[in-house]
Amino acid sequence: MGKLARDTIEKLHAGGTLAHSAAATAEELLRKHAAPHFQSHLAEVNAEGLSDDEAAAVRQALHSAVQKAENVRARRNFLFVLARTGDPSVKADVEDELAAVLVEQREAASSLWFALTALDAIGEAVFADDLQSAGIDSVEGNVRCAERYLGRLGRSIPH
């Protein structure tokens, strides 16, 4: 087994931060395996191909990482990597996550709208002239309003 494949599998099994960084490498390795002419942004991936057995081991390590993920975000990341590499066995799980993310997005959009209108009601200029919100469904406009408002306060929000 190649060094990159072995290191990736070990990191996926280790869990935590190591597994998160290894997920991107695993995705690139599996993409390269499926399409040998694929050029990864990772030079190591381009230099080291995977045998069918190695690809199966990397895929199995990703499945294991899904099961051992320490939180929902990590679980989703591993699932989505598997799906993006063409693994049909995770389709139902990805559909479940899509439904959950949609519910979360709707709840977040509602909370964002209510926070903006609450600040507006107490006299804060949250709706800039060029970024008027069209309402609760104007998610992108509301996000821009919130980012601009928080930016004026010197509060940056990581992406």
Domain locations along the chain: 3-86, 98-152
Residue 82 has pLDDT above 90, yes or no: yes
Of the candidates 7, 6, 21, which has an alpha carbon nearest to the alpha carbon of residue 81?
21
Residue 60, number of CB atoms within 10 A of its CB: 13
Mean pLDDT value across residues 65-93 = 95
CA torsion sign, 138 to 144 to 147 to 148?
negative
Averaged pLDDT of the chain: 91
pLDDT value, residue 127: 84
Taking phi over 0 as left and psi of -120 to 50 as alpha, with beta for the rest, 147 belongs to alpha
For 79-111, give the DSSP string: HHHHHHTT-GGGHHHHHHHHHHHHHHHHHHHHH
pLDDT value, residue 104: 94
Q: Give the Cα separation of 126 and 119 in Å (integer).
A: 7
Instruction: Copy the structure tokens of residue 54.
Output: 């190695």
Backbone angles phi, psi at 124, to 5 degrees: -85, 140
Instruction: Copy the structure tokens of residue 1.
Output: 């087994």
Residue 70 has pLDDT above 70, yes or no: yes
Residue 145 class from Cβ within 10 Å (0-12 exposed, 13-18 middle, 19+ buried)?
buried
* pTM for the structure as a whole: 0.79
pLDDT value, residue 56: 96
**9-53 pLDDT, tens digit each:** 999 999 888 899 999 999 999 999 999 999 999 999 999 889 999
**108-140 pLDDT, tens digit each:** 999 999 999 999 999 998 986 655 556 777 888
Mean pLDDT value across residues 54-83 = 95
